[in-house]
Amino acid sequence: MAAPDRPEHHRESHDERIARYAADEMRSLRERIAETRWRRRLAGRRTVNHSYRVCVGVVGGMIVALGLVTIPLPGPGWLTVIAGLFVLATEFTWAERLLDFTKKHVKRWTDWVTNQPLWIRLLLAAATAAFVYGVLVVTLHVTGVPDWVPGWVPLWR
């Protein structure tokens, strides 16, 4: 994509591309989206802009809620929460700050786990698997084991 002050035939150099990416990293996700043509057009119409922001809030909130409910279950609970925050962060500053906070702490946890000896990582994996299995067993005990689950599966019946 050519810079706005350059002729259309100008091909962006490697250094210009790096500078543009660095400048993009300095701006927030919300700011980058707000600068797109389609978002500027929506922002120019007050009722459409308000409706769009409400929809983003509802959809993002529902994704976060789904993620929070599924955190203790097997599957991508935290990933779903982060995806919902990402949706919310496209329009709301508070969500962007919360997403940055979450990313920072997930990175710290990941770095800490990566630096641990293999036996500690295996112990953490086993504890996580045991927790997930326990939540699954308790959930199935409370809600009932479906008939399609074979009898040899080690769950409470």
Domain that residue 125 falls in = 116-157
Co-location of 50 and 63 in the same domain: yes
Evaluate whether residue 29 is within a structural domain.
yes
The CA distance from 120 to 52, in Å, is 47
Identify whether residues 142 and 73 lie together within a single domain. no
48-78 pLDDT per residue, tens: 888 888 999 999 999 999 998 887 776 788 8
SS3 string, 83-102, reads HHHHHHHCCCHHHHHHHHHH
Same domain flag for 42 and 101: yes
Residue 6 lies in a domain: no
Residues 6+ apart with CB under 8 A from 55: none
Say yes or no: 68 and 111 in one domain: yes
| Residues 91 and 127 both lie in one domain | no
Say what the pTM is.
0.63
